[in-house]
Amino acid sequence: MKIKLLLIGAGSMGTAIIKSFIESGGNPEDISVLDPYINETNKNILSGCTIYNSQADIPDQSSFDAILLAVKPQTFNEISQDISVFSSAKCCVISIMAGVGIKRISSSLGIEIPVIRCMPNIAALVKRSVNVAYIENDSFDQQKAIFEDLFRGSGPIRWVDDEDLIHKTTALSGSGPAYFFAFVEAIAKAGIKAGLSEEHAMNLSIDTLIGAAALIETDRSPKKLRDSVTSKDGTTAAALSVFMDNNNLDDLVSDALSAAEKRSREL
């Protein structure tokens, strides 16, 4: 599908999504980027796209099939009313802003236009994002098709039927990669404390996560896999008993997700 796209905000996430879209067949010549602060790395990644430093630089007669909002929630109000002049009859606005609801987006735009909220994650850089999406009116087939074509290259799309679930999925999958990164760091630190070199501990931790991810991709049952590698009274069982004593791990993760969800609602 040929999509004329305007990306507003070429930070890490916006750039990752467009990179994946181009690599899956999107034409960079059909993509415009608006970001006065784009860095050289992302500018190189978006090579072939038309990059504008300000809204005034975009030609007056420009119109787009999709406008992707990838700015920080705190800056949305500054740019919202300038967006409507670039929308075509079939246009949709796609927001990956954390915490900003569809009603607020629609009200700020001041026009009747389909809005799709999506919470991806940074794994879009390697085409493995989880893209959780919501649209108020399920009859917007054309706009949904545009969205799916744009995001399919970055990873699986999971539609939800309640916008409130976006806050919860933000906490789980949107922020989720950072939790695994932090766990790898913690395992490596423990390895160093036990006497391994920093390089050895970090490489072992990273490669173990990669191997575990490959296993769980082939058999999407973490409990079954955990049981299969846990011998009774063995070393793995001893370690897991520390994590699971008094639900330590479950409670800690639940508290972390609650904190992330609370912050999403505050935004």
Q: Where are the domains of the chain?
A: 5-167, 176-266
Q: What is the pTM of this model?
A: 0.86
pLDDT for res 195: 98
3-class SS of residue 95:
strand
What superfamily does domain 176-266 belong to in CATH?
ProC C-terminal domain-like (1.10.3730.10)
**Cα-Cα end-to-end distance for the chain:** 34
Q: Out of 3.30.930.10, 3.60.15.10, 3.40.920.10, 3.40.50.720, select the CATH number for domain 5-167.
A: 3.40.50.720
Amino acid identity at 107? S
Within 13 Å and on the Cβ side, how many CA atoms surround 20? 26
Cβ atoms of residues 74 and 99 within 8 Å? no
pLDDT for res 88: 65
pLDDT for res 56: 87
Q: How many CB atoms lie within 10 A of CB 81?
A: 12
> Residue-wise pLDDT tens for the chain (267 aa)?
788 999 999 999 999 999 999 999 999 999 999 999 999 999 999 999 999 998 889 987 788 889 999 998 888 877 776 777 777 667 899 999 988 999 988 888 777 889 999 999 999 989 999 999 999 887 788 889 999 999 999 999 999 999 999 999 999 999 999 999 999 999 999 999 999 999 999 999 999 999 999 999 999 999 999 999 999 999 999 999 999 998 999 999 999 999 999 998 887
> Where does 14-155 show beta strands of DSSP type E?
31-34, 50-52, 64-69, 87-95, 115-119, 131-135
Q: How many CB atoms lie within 10 A of CB 73?
A: 16
